[in-house]
């Protein structure tokens, strides 16, 4: 079936004119119509525009043009601005917002000839680890619809796992690509901070946010990253570093590669999760890699550090939502202060307000040094730990999440319990490092992910290691029942 | 509870958020537990550590030539505004 083919295979068939982009687009739109009601993975469908874009891609293909993503459908997380299309960020605040321009990521995919099927559901303003904070309701995990798909990019993850799209974009501030990828059994890559432009991506925590993607394999991720990555003068934190050929790097043998086992990640790990990682390590040893222990002694500080830094930046970024220039405005404000307070109080959901208030508190007079400055110092200690580890090894490996997908509703009443979901993913964001989650087996019939983290700009090496693992295993080919 | 109701009311005011009477106890309790949780940081030895504001060392704000790069889009942008008159955003009267 078309929806089980890799991006490479689809591009090959499009190139040989065995299928058209229009047929492909109709196939996926049909699947979304049929299968999405049970998942709630989508906020907006753009079927009419998608068919027009597919026709345009078909014209380019007919004229002899070829490209790795030309005519390939995708879904964008609803955090990316899309000119003329609603961009809600999962919030009532932006329920009426039609973006007046394209994010750089969106523009790059358009230029490559991709076809946008629609925009995916997400935790409100990307704040959440379960997709339950969305104004549009929770996304269901296609492996078990009583479970969460993870978050914040839960709609993109569920849609990719359910084969509603060949791939989807996401963003990762503390694990929002890698954690849902693990919980839905797909491949999820968070590139190095600055590798992909943040222009037109609704800001949550600007020193942590990074765009990436969900695919069903590392080789698909390589083709997608090739289009996303690169310098953008419109993003002041975009980095002008050469973009290597990610696809070419996939087939390098792993002989001699040094992979570090993060001691702090393995301590106290649930035995079945540990057993899956043990199997993965054996695969890597069999492929010629060398595994050795490394330690990040300051890692236990990462979750509290993150929950100071991220809310602080969020409280600053979200101050732009004022009920004046765009977004939600309350009814009958009695004065300007009332307009601000009620527009924000009614427009934002509970978790977003909680994070804005946490951030406001840690930045307020008298608490700044004890919390914000202290967290920035702890952030350096954690970053220095990673740097020391990468003096000894090429990549580090560990679990992506402590457990498989949990029940919808299970952690909504306890924010700290929810925050601890991100324990293995947050470190890479604090240090700006690239990380990838790859399916590595099942616990209780639910997918689990292994995580590889590399030094800055080591995406090619991460994709290489993930691809070689996927050549030796078939976990990434499993589809949820009913979606194969 | 490390935060009182008065603390949360002050924070909500600084953040320009209206919090309803029913919501207030939930925020007092959850914000207190978050503050207690991040208080773990106080045990970390950070003597002499330089605070880190940017994840990539050595990055600087780029400068560009002071040339016009944008055109006027106000009509398009203001289509998203709740209230506009003559190209101006309308808010309740501020000065009597």
Pairing of strands A395-399, A42-45: unpaired
What CATH number does the domain containing B26 carry?
Answer: 1.10.20
Of how many residues is chain A composed? Answer: 484
Q: How far apart are CA A403 and CA A399, in angstroms?
A: 9
- The residues in A 94-123 lying below 8 A from B, measured between CB atoms, are 96-98, 100
- The percentage of chain A sitting over the pLDDT mark of 70, rounded to a whole number, equals 100
Q: Check the CA dihedral A86-A89-A92-A93 and report its sign.
A: negative
Distance of CA A62 to the CA centre of its chain: 34
| pLDDT tens track for A196-235 | 999 999 999 999 999 999 999 999 999 999 999 999 999 9
Quick check: A375 contacting B, CB < 8 Å? yes
Question: Are B30 and A415 inside 8 Å of each other by CB?
Answer: yes
Chain B hits for A336, CB-CB cut-off 8 Å, are 91-92, 94
Q: Closest CB to A341: pick one of B18, B31, B92.
A: B18
Q: Closest CB to B55: pick one of A207, A304, A415.
A: A207
- The residues in A 145-204 lying below 8 A from B, measured between CB atoms, are 192-194
pLDDT of residue B80: 97
Of how many residues is chain B composed? Answer: 96
pLDDT of residue B61: 80
Question: Residue A436: beta bridge partners?
Answer: A189, A452
Interface test with A, best of B41, B47, B54 (most A CBs within 10 A): B41
Nearest to A114 by CA among A163, A189, A168, A157: A168
| pLDDT tens track for A36-66 | 999 999 999 999 999 999 999 999 999 999 9
* E-strand stretches of A349-415: 395-399
Question: Are B35 and A361 inside 8 Å of each other by CB?
Answer: yes
Query: Contact, A51 vs A22, CB < 8 A?
Result: yes
* E-strand stretches of A92-133: 115-120
- The residues in A 221-240 lying below 8 A from B, measured between CB atoms, are 233, 236-237, 239
Residue B10 included in any domain: yes
Quick check: A304 contacting B, CB < 8 Å? yes
Could you give phi then psi for residue A3, rounded to 5 degrees?
-75, -10
Chain B hits for A364, CB-CB cut-off 8 Å, are 11, 14
Residue A216 included in any domain: yes
Please give the positions of A annotated as active site: 77, 152, 176
Interface test with A, best of B56, B74, B88 (most A CBs within 10 A): B56
Question: Are B80 and A361 inside 8 Å of each other by CB?
Answer: no
Place of tokens 């569920």: A158
pLDDT of residue B70: 87
Quick check: A272 contacting B, CB < 8 Å? no
Distance of CA A198 to the CA centre of its chain: 13
What's the domain count of chain B?
Answer: 1
Could you give phi then psi for residue A438, rounded to 5 degrees?
-130, 135
Question: Are A345 and B19 inside 8 Å of each other by CB?
Answer: yes
The more confident residue out of A421 and B49 is B49
- The percentage of chain B sitting over the pLDDT mark of 90, rounded to a whole number, equals 80
User: At B53, is the pLDDT very low, low, confident or very high (cuts 50, 70, 90)?
Assistant: confident
Residue A411 included in any domain: no
Q: How far apart are CA A200 and CA A198, in angstroms?
A: 6
- The residues in B 28-87 lying below 8 A from A, measured between CB atoms, are 30-31, 33-35, 37-42, 44, 46, 49-56, 59, 61-62, 64, 73, 76-77, 79-83
What CATH number does the domain containing A36 carry?
Answer: 3.90.1300.10
What's the domain count of chain A?
Answer: 1
pLDDT of residue A26: 98
Phi-psi region for residue A449, left (φ > 0), alpha (ψ -120 to 50) or beta? beta
Quick check: A379 contacting B, CB < 8 Å? yes
Q: How far apart are CA B45 and CA B19, in angstroms?
A: 37
Q: CB-based contacts of A339: which residues, under 8 Å, 6+ apart? A: A323, A324, A329, A330, A333, B91, B92
Give the ranges where B1-96 is alpha helix by DSSP (H).
5-14, 24-38, 74-78
- Give the relative orientation of helices A302-317 and A374-392 as an angle to the nearest 10 degrees: 120
Residue A141 included in any domain: yes
Query: Contact, A342 vs A297, CB < 8 A?
Result: no
pLDDT of residue A89: 98
Residue B83 included in any domain: no
Chains A and B form CB pairs within 8 A to the count of 174
Q: How far apart are CA A419 and CA A430, in angstroms?
A: 15
Quick check: B21 contacting A, CB < 8 Å? no
Characterize A152-187 residue by residue with b for buried, 16 or more Cβ atoms within 10 angstroms of its Cβ, and e for exposed: bbbbbbbbbbbbbbbbbbbbbbbbbbbbbbbbbbbb
Pairing of strands A290-294, A258-262: parallel
Range of the domain at B9: 5-42
Residue A107 included in any domain: yes
What's the token pair of residue A197? 């432009």
Quick check: A208 contacting B, CB < 8 Å? yes
* E-strand stretches of A139-182: 168-171
Chain B hits for A337, CB-CB cut-off 8 Å, are 16
Query: Contact, A28 vs A116, CB < 8 A?
Result: no
Number of alpha helices (DSSP H) and beta strands (DSSP E) in chain A: 17, 11
Name the CA dihedral angle for A263, A265, A270, A275, rounded to a multiple of 10 degrees. -70
Q: CB-based contacts of B93: which residues, under 8 Å, 6+ apart? A: A335
Question: Are B44 and A342 inside 8 Å of each other by CB?
Answer: no
Q: Closest CB to B51: pick one of A341, A342, A377.
A: A377
Residue A344 included in any domain: no
| pLDDT tens track for B56-85 | 877 778 888 999 988 999 999 999 999 999
pLDDT over threshold 90, residue B54:
no
Question: Are B41 and A305 inside 8 Å of each other by CB?
Answer: yes
Chain A hits for B92, CB-CB cut-off 8 Å, are 333-336, 338-339
Residue B94 included in any domain: no
**DSSP letters for B8-19:** HHHHHHHTT---
Query: Contact, A483 vs A162, CB < 8 A?
Result: yes
Residue A49 included in any domain: yes
If DSSP codes are grouped into helix, strand and coil, which group holds residue A115? Answer: strand
Q: What string of pLDDT tens digits covers the 484 residues of chain A?
A: 899 999 999 999 999 999 999 999 999 999 999 999 999 999 999 999 999 999 999 999 999 999 999 999 999 999 999 999 999 999 999 999 999 999 999 999 999 999 999 999 999 999 999 999 999 999 999 999 999 999 999 999 999 999 999 999 999 999 999 999 999 999 999 999 999 999 999 999 999 999 999 999 999 999 999 999 999 999 999 999 999 999 999 999 999 999 999 998 998 899 999 999 999 999 999 999 999 999 999 999 999 999 999 999 999 999 999 999 999 999 999 999 999 999 999 999 999 999 999 999 999 989 999 999 999 999 999 999 999 999 999 999 999 999 999 999 998 888 888 888 889 999 999 999 999 999 999 999 999 999 999 999 999 999 999 999 999 999 999 999 999 9
Residue B77 included in any domain: no
Q: CB-based contacts of A89: which residues, under 8 Å, 6+ apart? A: A78, A79, A122, A124, A125, A126, A202
Residue A95 included in any domain: yes
**Which H/E stretch holds residue A419?**
helix A415-419
Distance of CA A475 to the CA centre of its chain: 20
If DSSP codes are grouped into helix, strand and coil, which group holds residue A413? Answer: coil
pLDDT of residue A419: 87
Question: Residue A291: beta bridge partners?
Answer: A259
Range of the domain at A448: 2-255+434-477
């Amino acid at each position: 079936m078309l929806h089980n083919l890799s991006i490479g295979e689809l591009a090959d068939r499009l190139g040989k004119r065995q299928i058209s982009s229009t047929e492909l687009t109709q196939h996926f739109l049909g699947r979304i119509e049929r299968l999405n009601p049970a998942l709630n993975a989508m906020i907006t469908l753009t079927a009419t525009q998608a068919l027009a874009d597919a026709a345009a891609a078909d014209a380019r293909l007919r004229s002899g043009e070829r490209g790795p993503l030309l005519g390939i459908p995708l879904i964008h997380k609803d955090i990316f601005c899309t000119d003329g299309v609603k961009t809600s960020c999962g919030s009532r605040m932006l329920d009426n917002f039609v973006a007046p321009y394209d994010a750089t990521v969106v523009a790059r995919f358009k230029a490559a000839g991709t076809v946008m099927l629609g925009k995916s559901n997400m935790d409100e303003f990307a704040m959440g680890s379960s997709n339950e904070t969305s104004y549009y309701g929770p996304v269901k995990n296609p492996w078990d619809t009583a479970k969460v798909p993870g978050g914040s990019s839960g709609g993109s993850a569920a849609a990719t796992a359910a084969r509603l799209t060949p791939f989807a974009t996401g963003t990762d501030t503390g694990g929002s690509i890698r954690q849902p990828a693990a919980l839905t059994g797909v491949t999820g890559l968070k590139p190095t901070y600055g590798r992909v432009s943040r222009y037109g991506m609704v800001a949550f925590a600007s020193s942590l946010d990074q765009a990436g993607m969900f695919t069903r394999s590392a080789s698909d991720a390589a083709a997608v990253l090739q289009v996303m990555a690169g310098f953008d003068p419109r993003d002041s934190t975009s980095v002008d570093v050469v973009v290597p050929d990610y696809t070419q790097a996939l087939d390098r043998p792993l002989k001699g590669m040094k992979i570090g086992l993060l001691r702090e990640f393995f301590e106290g790990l649930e035995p079945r999760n540990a057993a899956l990682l043990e199997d993965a390590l054996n695969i890597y040893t069999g492929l010629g890699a060398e595994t050795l222990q490394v330690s990040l002694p300051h890692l236990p500080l990462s979750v509290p550090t993150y929950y100071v830094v991220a809310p602080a930046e969020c409280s600053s970024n979200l101050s732009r939502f004022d009920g004046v220039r765009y977004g939600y405005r309350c009814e009958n404000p009695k004065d300007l202060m009332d307009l601000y307070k009620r527009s924000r109080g009614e427009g934002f959901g509970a978790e977003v307000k909680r994070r804005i208030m946490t951030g406001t508190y840690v930045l307020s007079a008298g608490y700044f040094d004890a919390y914000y400055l202290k967290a920035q110092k702890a952030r350096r200690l954690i970053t220095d730990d990673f740097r020391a580890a990468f003096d000894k090894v090429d990549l580090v490996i560990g679990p992506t999440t402590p457990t498989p997908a949990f029940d919808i509703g299970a952690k909504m009443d306890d924010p700290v319990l929810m925050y601890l979901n991100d324990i293995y993913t947050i470190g890479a964001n604090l240090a700006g490092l690239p990380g990838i989650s790859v399916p590595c087996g099942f616990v209780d019939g639910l997918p689990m992910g292994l995580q590889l983290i590399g030094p800055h700009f080591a995406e090619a090496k991460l994709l290489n290691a993930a691809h070689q693992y996927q050549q030796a295993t078939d976990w990434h080919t499993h589809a949820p029942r009913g979606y194969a | 509870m490390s935060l009182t109701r008065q603390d949360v009311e002050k924070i909500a005011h600084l953040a320009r958020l209206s919090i309803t009477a029913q919501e207030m106890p939930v925020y007092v309790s959850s914000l207190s537990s978050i503050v207690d949780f991040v208080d773990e940081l106080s045990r970390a030895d950070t003597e002499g550590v330089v605070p880190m504001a940017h994840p990539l060392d050595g990055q600087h704000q780029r400068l560009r030539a002071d040339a016009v790069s944008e055109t006027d889009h106000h009509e398009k942008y203001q289509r998203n505004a709740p209230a506009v008159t003559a190209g101006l955003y309308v808010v309740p009267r501020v000065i009597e």
